Amino acid sequence: METIVFVGAGSMAEAIIAGMVVRNTEDAKRIYVMNKSDDDRLDYMQGRYGISIVCPERKALKFADMIVLATKPKDIRQAMAEIAPHLNDHTAALSVIAGTPIKTIEQGLGMRPIARSMPNTSATIGKSASGIAMNSKVDQRCKDQFIQLLSSIGIVKEVREEDLHAVTALSGSGPAYVYYLVEALEEAAIDKGLSKEIARELIIQTLDGAASMLKMTGEDPITLRQNVTSPGGTTEAGLNALETRKFKQTIAECIDSAEGRSRELGALS
């Protein structure tokens, strides 16, 4: 069993820990958390997941096989300055921070095995879609450990570091776009007279069914869309409205803005 220390105890750290603990991939007691100042948050995490809290002397950092960097990009430099003196040379670092380059982490923690990854909050239920890139210090054993951790919370794809900005825009932020779509569908359904409860159930099942169709049939989304669209029917009418409003262009702008912001955050960190 490995000792893993989470530096940052916010929503992303919790999503990953929840996924790991629920799947029993690690001995919960050997997962440690620390943050900047919010002790109530650490108590909550310990009570909820049975994990441990890093003591004020930072002893757990000495024994850590891996640290997971999960602060906001603007806070990572200070966090690294605080933890670096306590770390062992062999300790590997896995960052989940949007934008922050591997180089910045090498500067903050010294040359050591470092991976930069981008999971998403569906890690909570073991359904993250994560991307990962690693530095030259990562050997096969260490790579397996990084991949194993991310696999315990969903699927993981190795990409070039440069491509992590696009991964961040697509699957890191992606759950929020889907929730926003659900909000919009729900509001439209309520406007048409459906109750919120019924609308939500129908929407969730529709999303779940469509995602499962993509997964299980292996069909292209275009084919599946065409299968739904009867000539002159309701779907065609709905899709025409989306096209008139430049739906694909709007989505392209969404991804472009998010990708650009990831680059900006990287430059800020």
Ligand X SMILES: O=C(O)[C@@H]1CCC=N1
Residues that bind ligand NDP (CB under 6 A): 7-13, 34-38, 41, 70-73, 75, 78-79, 82, 96-98, 118-121, 172
The CB-of-80 to ligand X minimum distance in angstroms stands at 19
Q: Which is nearer to ligand X, 113 or 174 (CB)?
A: 174
CA distance 10 to 35: 8
Whichever of 113 and 172 has its CB closer to ligand X, that residue is 172
Residues 95, 16 contacting (CB under 8 angstroms): no
> Which x/- pattern over 154-193 shows residues binding ligand X (rule: CB under 6 A)?
--------------x---xx--------------------
Least gap, CB of 100 to ligand NDP (angstroms)? 7
Rounded alpha-carbon distances, angstroms, from residue 189 to 181, 192, 200, 209, 243: 12, 5, 9, 19, 20
Q: Which is nearer to ligand NDP, 24 or 37 (CB)?
A: 37
In the bound state with ligand X, the residue whose beta carbon lies nearer, of 176 and 211, is 176
Closer Cβ to ligand X, 252 or 268, answer by number: 268
Those residues with Cβ within 8 angstroms of residue 82's Cβ, 6 or more apart along the chain or in another chain: none
Out of ligand NDP, ligand X, none, which partner does residue 196 contact, by CB within 5 to 8 A per kind? none
Q: Are strands 4-7 and 66-69 parallel, antiparallel or unpaired?
A: parallel
From the list ligand X, ligand NDP, none, partner contacted by residue 45 (C-beta under 5 to 8 A by kind):
none
98 touches ligand X by CB under 6 A = yes
3-state secondary structure 179-227: HHHHHHHHHHHHHCCCCHHHHHHHHHHHHHHHHHHHHHHCCCHHHHHHH
Strand partners, 154: 128
The site map against ligand X for 54-93 (x = CB under 6 A) is ----------------------------------------
52 vs 121, which CB is nearer to ligand X?
121
Name the residue number minimizing CB distance to ligand X. 172
Contact 31, 25 (CB under 8 A): no
- Judged by beta carbon, residue 101 or residue 172, the one nearer ligand X is 172
The site partner of 70 among ligand NDP, ligand X, none (C-beta below 5 to 8 Å per kind) is ligand NDP
In the list ligand X, ligand NDP, none, the entry touching 72 (Cβ below 5 to 8 angstroms by class) is ligand NDP
Going by C-beta distance under 8 Å and a sequence separation of 6 or more, which residues neighbour residue 30?
Answer: 1, 2, 3, 4, 52
119 binds, among ligand NDP, ligand X, none (CB under 5 to 8 A by kind): ligand NDP
Tokens of 27: 């001995």
Residue numbers of the site for ligand X (CB under 6 A)?
98, 168, 172-173
